[in-house]
Structure 1
Amino acid sequence: MSLVSPLPLRAIAPARLVTASASSQYRHRRHYSQLSQTPSKRPTAPARRQQQHAPSIRCFHATSPAFAMPDPYQTLGVNKNASAAEIKKAYYGLAKKYHPDTNKDAGAKEKFASAQAAYEVLSDAEKKKAFDSYGAGAFDANGGFNPGAAGAGGPGGNPFGGGFGGFGGFGGGAQGAGGFQDINFEDLFGAFTGGRRGRGGGGRRNPFEEQVMVGDNIEVQTNISFLDAAKGVKKDIHITPLVECGSCTGSGLKQGAKRAECKSCGGTGQRVTSMGGFHMSATCGSCGGSGFAIPRGSSCNTCGGDGAVKERKTISIDIPGGVEDGMRLRVNGEGDAPLTGQAASAGTVHGQKGDLYVLIRVASDSKFKRNGSDILHTATIPLTTAVLGGEIKVPTLDGEVMVKVPTGSGTGDRVTLSGMGMKVLSSGRRGGKGDLKVEFRVSMPKYLSVNQRTILEMLADEMGDTHAKRVINPGKWKEEQQAAGSKGSGNTVRDDHSNEGFLKSAWHNLTGQHKHMKDDDDEPKKGSGSA
């Protein structure tokens, strides 16, 4: 549906006298009476000509009805027996030739407006019938159609008669001022720019361009794993698209049958309605805008006149490596075929299938997280490996590899394995790969055994950590041993024995043996004696 407002009055000035409502006429007469100071008298003919030059209506030019209503058949160059399609073809030819945007000649605007006015009459079945029967007499003196005039329906034929001349008078005035109220400019300018793509019955057809009907697109979803998204995979997609009917080859007709002119729109493909001085043009719902329809009983038995039927099929698609979740792949020409049987006239419309869109859903993976073309793996390492360094196994897209852990690694530290990520789909780095980033997470023990705590407390003493909590407190026991040793003889041999006793006692403390070192030294002797 298109709604086009009239152009400014100065754009086109065809010979039309515009009528106004009773109230507006009264206001004009009153305005004139104030100027002439004769309010009770009706203006004479000379005074009426003077009134034309008043600022309020100086843009309207009175002409004789003969000039106001030229023969529309002569204007378009067709005879009275011409069909609606021939009239439309003639009009489009003149509109294309004399349109002000393409023809800069001085008289082009006037000829374009004349073609518009003629087509307005001949494209309307009621106006055309009235003109064929009564000529210009079926129209009012201003060129507007008057269904209530004598011979054109009789008095009272139009409930909206009166000052507006029954919408036709008002419409005629708008036609005289611009004449664009019932023109579908999208189709008109389409003739200047070449063919356009249509989808179904989308508006009035241009007879000078090749119509291409495109079927609807189909969208399906397929699920793949994370590794399939990384490496690529071939998937089978099952769809049920519309395909061209094999019985009628898309025409929608039985063998030997022909299309007929649409009775609803008279072959124009448009239904025009008037409202408030505007003409609103909508695509004919019966023929879909083609101007032709399939007669009853002539439809194809296979497709019912649609020109297409549903068919189950399987399509194999190659999903490239590197696709992300939510991406869509387009497969050209694997969508629905258009319903050419419903809206197309034979020989002027070509069908083109829509496209198939495949929505990719990638499953999450427990080992990897994705960030563009890079992937992240979180590796858990023990406290000792984090402190001392080491080497761990890390999974990749192609198997496991050994990764070195630097000494003193902490939670959040990362190492990067270049070129071991996802494939890159962008045009700038197509064929390349992202990186695999390994992030360390240090596993901290929540519970410690006596030996583990003893070792850690000794490490805290060794590193001078005075803030760590002590439970076993091996440092205090060491101080006591050193103090006891200092009370001995003091020679070097005794000092060496004292140091050796401390280390051995520390070992016994770590292994849970808290006996005196002298008793521990006597154990082998007792054992050998009993043997």
Structure 2
Amino acid sequence: MSKRDYYEVLGVDKNASADDIKKAYRQAARKLHPDVNKAADAEDQFKEAKEAYDVLSDDQKRSTYDRHGHVDPNQGFGGGADFNGGGFGDIFDMFFGGGGRQRDPNAPQRGNDLQYSMTIEFKEAIFGKETDITIPRTEDCDTCHGNGAKPGTKPETCTTCKGSGQQEVVQNTAFGRMVNRRVCSTCSGRGQVIKDRCNTCHGSGKVKKQRKIHVKIPAGVDEGAQLRISGEGEPGTRGGPAGDLYIVLRVKAHEFFEREGDDVYCEVPLTFAQAALGDEIEIPTLTEKVKLKIPAGTQTGTYFRLKGKGVPRLRGYGQGDQHVKAVLVTPTNLTEEQKEMLLQFGGSINDTTHSNHQSIFDRLKKAFLGD
């Protein structure tokens, strides 16, 4: 396939200045670099832009191109660059800063964060608790103190990269001399090599240990809450700070209460007589039992609010409320006497005689609630 015009590739005209060409290439490099653009043809377009820039940024090559256009690569330029040797990294360094690639391999590095899932009881989430947990984590080897070398020895500076952690590979191309930087194959980017490895950690400088940590769970936490314990993650390397430990809380369901935010909900069963005649019943709350007055004629599904009997507010003062739902329970296994009274009640429900009405209610109350 014939090559596109280099000016067209970079989107500039033939009178473009060197600065315009450089600016156009920088924009193309940012847009098309394979580390940024994941399109299937991004790499090919990037190579095309790089080839165009290599020619148009060189006064002599640009002059030749302007006179003769594309020529055979063996005659001077036009596709002779080798992009399979890692050249992308150097171009990326040039236009994107390359800070990560130039980082000192021996500089202190922060340790990794850890995550731990912890299951607690419903009321432990409400009122908080203190407990100890044991977590597995990587720590510095006690034998070599984290440097990976056998006691009495120490790591040595890598002779291949001179401690930089990177190798330079020089390539002579049709465009001139190109220098590619790669992770050092001898020390794997560490900048140091260990000749006599520690027998405990086998040169890694790290070992797996079980660590006990004291945890304070604040009152009012809920399902999915995350606690951060600073400095209890993986240790840093070369004197860097440790990471953090994140504890994700899972809360068990309660057999009686359900929670919505700072409020709790529950259901209490009422007999027909209690709902119809009214009553005073004992209700469990999160901390104690309280009396709740049920007015006569209460319908099933009615809610009663117990102010301040909910969850302590995690960020703020006071507590939520408790909401009590009345649920009418239909009696089963009735005796013959109870069935007869219900039949009488059903037959007299429209009876307007107050005395007779009161008499039936009294008998119902006696039958279902006792004296």
AA aligned opposite 1:9: Y
Instruction: Quote the offset at 1:443 in angstroms.
Output: 1.0
Pairing partner for 2:109 from 187, 210, 213: 213
Partner residue of 1:354 out of 223, 243, 252: 243
TM-superposition CA deviations, 1:278-306 (whole Å, max 9, x none): 9997644653434x121422x34443332
How far off its partner does 1:423 sit?
2.2
Give, in angstroms, the shift of residue 398 of structure 1: 0.5
> Is the 2:158–2:186 Cα contact (8 Å) retained in structure 1?
no
SS for the counterpart of 2:109 is strand
Q: Which segments of 5 or more consecutive residues in structure 1 lack a partner in the other structure?
A: 19-47, 61-139, 145-162, 191-202, 341-348, 466-474, 476-502, 512-531
Partner of residue 17, structure 1: 61
Deviation track 1:391-433 (CA, whole Å, cap 9, x = no partner) reads 11111110111111122112211101122111223x4xx2332
Supply the AA of the counterpart residue of 1:326.
Answer: G
1:273 and 1:379, CA in 2 relative to 1: closer, same or farther beyond 3 A?
farther
Match of 1:296 among 190, 195, 200: 195
| Cross-structure match for 2:332 | 446
Q: Give the match for residue 204 of structure 1.
A: 101
Distance 2:232 2:136 in 1: 10
1:437 offset after TM fit, Å?
Answer: 0.7
Pair 448,363 (structure 1): closer, same or farther in 2 beyond 3 Å: same
Inter-CA distance 455–308: structure 2 relative to 1 (3 Å threshold): same
TM, length-normalised to structure 2: 0.66
SS of the residue aligned with 1:434?
coil
Looking at secondary structure, tell me which structure has more strand per residue. Answer: 2
Identity across matched positions, percent: 28
Give the equivalent residue in structure 1 for 2:147. 251
Among 287, 302, 310, the residue aligned to 2:187: 287
Residue in structure 1 matched with residue 215 of structure 2 by the alignment? 317
Supply the distance in 1 between the matched residues of 2:240 and 2:95 (Cα, whole angstroms): 21
Residue 237 in structure 1 maps to residue 133 in structure 2: yes
Matched, 1:188 2:79: no
Distance 1:333 1:205, change over 3 A: farther
Distance 1:403 1:273 in 2: 87
Q: Which residue of 1 is the match for residue 157 of structure 2?
A: 260
Change (3 A) 1:402 1:335: same
Deviation at 1:12, TM superposition (A): 7.9
The corresponding residue for 2:262 is 373
Superposed CA offset, 1:250-284 (max 9, x none): 3333445342226389945268799xx99997644
Do the aligned partners of residues 183 and 453 (structure 1) sit closer, same or farther apart at CA in structure 2, a change above 3 Å counting? closer
**TM-score computed with the length of structure 1 as normaliser:** 0.48
Match 1:223 to one of 119, 132, 143: 119
**1:361 aligns to what SS in structure 2?**
strand
Distance 1:381 1:11 in 2: 90
Shift of the 266–252 alpha-carbon distance from structure 1 to 2, 3 Å rule, reads closer
What is the letter of the counterpart of residue 293 of structure 1?
A: Q
**Per the alignment, do residues 185 and 458 of structure 1 end up closer, same or farther by CA in structure 2, a change over 3 Å counting?**
farther
| Alignment correspondent of 1:363 | 252
Instruction: Give the superposition deviation at 1:232.
Output: 0.4
Q: Is the 8 A contact 2:112 2:243 kept in 1?
A: yes
1:398 is the counterpart of 2:287: yes
Task: Quickly say closer, same or farther: Cα 1:286–1:374, change in 2 above 3 A.
Answer: farther
1:143-158 mapped onto 2 (5 Å cutoff) = none
Deviation at 1:240, TM superposition (A): 2.9
Preserved contact between residue 165 and residue 183 of structure 2 (Cα < 8 Å): no
Count of aligned pairs between the two proteins: 304
| Aligned residue number for residue 52 of structure 1 | 66
Q: Secondary structure at the match of 1:184?
A: helix
In the alignment, is residue 327 of structure 1 matched against residue 225 of structure 2? yes
Q: Matches of 1:446 and 1:416 in 2, distance apart?
A: 30
- Rounded to whole Å, the distance in 1 between the matches of 2:325 and 2:170 is 71
Question: How far apart, in 1, do the equivalents of 2:271 and 2:94 lie?
Answer: 76
Q: CA deviation at 1:245?
A: 3.2
| Offset from partner CA, 1:440-498 (integer Å, 9 cap, x none) | 11111234333323333333344318xxxxxxxxx9xxxxxxxxxxxxxxxxxxxxxxx
Instruction: For 1:186 and 1:320, locate their aligned partners in 2 and report how far apart those are by CA, in whole Å.
Output: 49
Distance apart, 1:229 and its partner CA: 1.1
User: How does 1:106-117 map onto structure 2 within 5 Å?
Assistant: none
Change in Cα spacing, 1:408 to 1:185, as seen in structure 2 (3 Å) is farther
Question: Which residue of the partner structure matches residue 27 of structure 1?
Answer: none
**Cα pair 1:379 1:441 within 8 Å, conserved:** yes
Summarize deviations over 1:115-134 as a string: whole Å, max 9, x none. xxxxxxxxxxxxxxxxxxxx
Q: 1:433 aligns with which of 319, 325, 332?
A: 319
Q: 1:14 to 1:204 in 2, by over 3 A?
A: same
Q: Deviations over 1:287-338 (max 9, x none)?
A: 3434x121422x3444333233333321110011222223332211111224
CA distance change for structure 1 residues 309 and 9 in 2, over 3 Å: closer, same or farther?
same
Asked if 2 retains the 8 angstrom alpha-carbon contact of 1:265 and 1:284, the reply is no
Residue 141 and residue 351 in structure 1: after superposition, are their counterparts in 2 closer, same or farther (change >3 A)?
farther
Assess if the C-alpha contact under 8 Å between 2:220 and 2:311 holds in 1: yes
User: 3-state DSSP class of the match of 1:206?
Assistant: coil
1:412 paired with 2:298, answer no
SS at match of 1:312: strand
Return the structure number with greater relative CO, CA threshold 8 A, min gap 6.
Answer: 2
Contact 1:2 1:281 in 2 (8 A): no
